[in-house]
Structure 1
Amino acid sequence: MSEAASPGRPLGVGIVGGGFMGAVHSRAARAARARLVGISSSSGARARAAAEELGLERGYDSLDELLADDAIDVVHVCTPNALHAEQAAAIVAAGKHIVCEKPLATSVTDAAALVDAVASAGVTATVPFVYRFHSLVREARARVQEGELGRLLSIHGSYLQDWLLDAGDDNWRVEEASGGRSRAFGDIGSHLVDLTEFVTGDRVTQVSATKRTFFGERAEHTAITTEDAIAIVLQTAGGALGTLLVSQVAAGRKNRLHLEIAGSSESIAFDGEQPEAIWVGRRGGSQLIPRDADQLHPDAARLCAVPAGHPQGYQDAFNAFVADSYAAIEGASPEGLPRFEDGLRAARVTDAVMDAADSGTWISVVP
């Protein structure tokens, strides 16, 4: 056991990748009172610049150098998608705990190999499906679990962004070699399906899909094949029907994840851009339930970091996810913590959705 992992010592954190997500992870680690030991990036110079910017102790010349540091107990992987599998495998082989950005890997085979490696190594390995950590998502889940919605009938969801709205907008994610076979669904649609299954407790079993690439050329990329938007029809094991729309070219929508579940007794809806209340709909009247710990189920109330009326958002949810990941490293079993098995599930769903879009037929999701 390293000194940093000793009783009374904070966990030592290493980060791989210093972009937007590296910054988000560093803030969450700091909020969890971990020790931010160091970071590696595409070069030693970039790592040292990122360490200075994000407030880590040092920058490493390589991932190997980071992994050789006994002060590091857990590594956060925040690099482009195509690098995840190889980097995660090296981290697990080094006996470090890991938080790996999604997608866990760009293929089901690689994701499954990582799940097996984690089981053999006995380390804690989690994936940031962080929308599970909004208080009112937990409240919706608790209401479904207690049967308040009745029989689940239908699901309507969307995840909309506009950051790739114009042909001049560009990013490494549009390139299949860096981002993987799927872009819009793999990047954000996976969150929507994870949230759907997490809240309902019902698995998606079959999907049909239609995708579009509206911009085959962008500022720095040509012959783009990854999708800008995709529409999905689904069926669940429990017999519910659903429709999902995922788009990164929806003008005015910055990060709008919306999920509405209709049951035989009532419906419930969560809007990620307005996360301080959930809508509960009934034939005899509807209401808004605020994020107020005094009114919520215990698992929802524990995620209220500040009192009602003081808004919480994305970074708060991320902080809660990282805090629960670190608690798991220290031996706890937090409710609803997304692990590598959930990353593998997302890879299987993504494959099914893309196969459905390519074939024009219904595709079963591998259990």
Structure 2
Amino acid sequence: MIIQLHHPSSKETVDEAIQFLEAMGLSCHHVSTPDSTLLVVYAGQLQDPRSVRRCPGVSDVHHISDEFKLVSSQWKQGRSTVKIGENDFGPKSFHSIMGPCSVEGAEQLESVAKFLVSQGVSFIRGGVFKPRSSPYSFRGMGFEGLNLFREVADRYGLSIVTEVMEVAQIEAMASQVDVFQIGARNMQNFNLLEAVGKSGVPVLLKRSMSGTIEEFLHCAEYVYNVGNDKIILCERGIRTFEGAYRNTLDVNAISYLQARTHLPVIADPSHGVGLRRHVVDVGLAAVAAGADGLLVEIHPRPDSAVSDRNQTLYFDQAAHLIEGGKKFRALREALMH
């Protein structure tokens, strides 16, 4: 159950409401976002559900059967929109987030930024801290790379999406980053999820290669539970028995997630298939399934990229995907409405 209090509510009103509910044998958690004051009831049994409406300061009551409450579509009817800078992520918009797997230097970033601006793309991605399968692989330029990334992004009016790997990195990164990415390997790093939630910075949460939908949504709940409702979910491919390609993009998950949660859902076809020649096709399949955006790796010289070169697109391929994504999105809207 979620009890919505009048917003904003004073600390006295919140405390009084919590005492009222505890006297009824209910356990609850206070969540405050920029737009709402909520009490999430997570334990206890009500004899008379109507009695909750006598709670001090109550505005509305939502009965939710899902174990994850705040991200559930049972609470918020319709789809949520996440505002990042001047751009909205959600059902009425479509955005591509593109850039290199790893930030390598100024020349690379300048080239990518110029291309993105020419294509009308507002978001640039790139890793400065890289979780790698091998300890001998390139692991990013660190804060030096982040400073360079911010400088180039500001020059071209782009919003930065980059991965944070540790709680200790958050404070120093928060002022430089527009969206924190939580990578697949950290999907269930609960301390990190709570810490990025408390930062207030929008969060792009990637599904792990073996994570179920329920687990994925519970992880999003960790971020929302500390007051950050600016969450974008990303399907990036799961590990199956098939070895012909890197992962299997779970296209089913896009539609299913949009039925279970009000949060925006995007797809990462680069990791979803892991083979350059198939990334555009898989990306368009994700758009056809209803994805609110795409997260794609591109590089001015993919074959010389320091990481993920086999799944990184050339600029001309990226341009085809951007244009095709817009057309597929428009076609889907025409057919579905």
Normalising by structure 2, we get a TM-score of 0.31
